[in-house]
Structures are given as structure tokens and as C-alpha cells.
Amino acid sequence: MTGPRIVLVGPMGVGKSTVGELLAARLGTTFRDTDADIVAAEGREISEIFVDDGEPHFRALERAAVARALAGHDGVLALGGGAVLDADTRRLLTGLPVAYLSMEVAEAVRRTGLDAARPLLAVVNPRQQWKRLMEERRHLYTGVARVVVATDGRTPEEVADGVLDAL
Ligand code: S3P
């Protein structure tokens, strides 16, 4: 086992799974997603794990899932958007071909329809929450990544091209 050909990191909604599937098809390999691994292993949705057991427990499951996937997969691997928050998880990525798929808040709003949420009902304003998360995480993504591929205004096919060109 030689380790993954490409590892994708970046915020939720940036298209890691869509681009990852495309990259795997182009490289003639398989795609794996640590969120899906966790759901399969736990037999419950990620939202349930967060609600039932809290984020720290989820991050511990995620750390183990990333370690297993890195050791057992030689195709394209996508990590959950918050995986880089964990220092041990970041260390596991040292020296690997990691691509950070980035996007600006305007693109996040366009893609995920954050503005369609009802701002007065939301506990936190989604746009503000997005900015807060990215202020906390941007340097973690760039810290683990060999390359950064901006996705704003680009189709998944164009992003996949960008990843292959850059790595
Ligand atoms: C999270 C992103 C999600 C999932 C969980 C937490 C995050 O993954 O792991 O809901 O903290 O950004 P995706 O990036 O695949 O949506």
C-alpha cells in the first residue's frame, strides 16, 4: 500500500466529494470519504454523532478514520471539512499530496444557499458563521496542503483539472 494518490481538504460544500469522484475516475482509481467511513462504522449520521456525543467525540472518531483511510487506501481521499482542526490528524498528512479546495464566502453562499436560510431564525447568522469558521481554519488548510486550488466560479471538472495540474 503506497498511500493515497490525492487527499482533498477544504470547507464543507466546496465540492470535495464531487471533485474527488472525478479525480478518481480520471486516474482510474477509487474514491473514499472519511465522513462516509464514519457513518458506516457508527451506523448513524454525523449530525446524530454531534448531537448525541458532541464534537470532541466526533473529532476522535474522525482522527481514527483518517488514520485508517491513509493506511488502507491508495486512491483519492476526501476528509471532512473540520478534520484539520485536530493536530494529530494534521500530522498524519505531513508529506502527502494534499490539495486544499478553497472558496470565498460569496461562492459558499451561492453554492450552499446560505442566504436562503432565515437569518432571524438562525441561531447564528450563516454568513458570519462561515467567515468565523474560515478565519479559524484557513491557515490550517494551507498548512497541510501542498497546493491550493480556488474553486470559485469553476465547475467540478475545471477544479479536478486544476488539482491534477497543480499536484
Ligand atoms: C464538518 C464538515 C463535514 C462533517 C461534519 C463537520 C466541519 O464534512 O465532517 O459535519 O466541521 O466542517 P464535509 O466537509 O464533507 O461536509
* Whether residue 80 has its Cβ less than 6 Å from ligand 1: yes
Sheet holding 6-9, edge to edge: 31-33, 76-78, 6-9, 98-102, 147-150
Residue 111: per-residue pLDDT:
77
* Whether residue 46 has its Cβ less than 6 Å from ligand 1: yes
Report the binding-site residues for substrate: 35, 59, 81, 137
* Whether residue 167 has its Cβ less than 6 Å from ligand 1: no
Residue 3: per-residue pLDDT:
80
Residue ranges of domains in the chain? 6-166
Predicted ipTM? 0.96
pLDDT lower than 50: segments of the chain: none
The second-level CATH assignment, the architecture, of 6-166 is: 3-Layer(aba) Sandwich (3.40)
Residue 93: per-residue pLDDT:
96
**Is the distance from CB of 17 to CB of 77 less than 8 angstroms?**
no
Atom number of ligand 1 nearest to Cα 79:
15
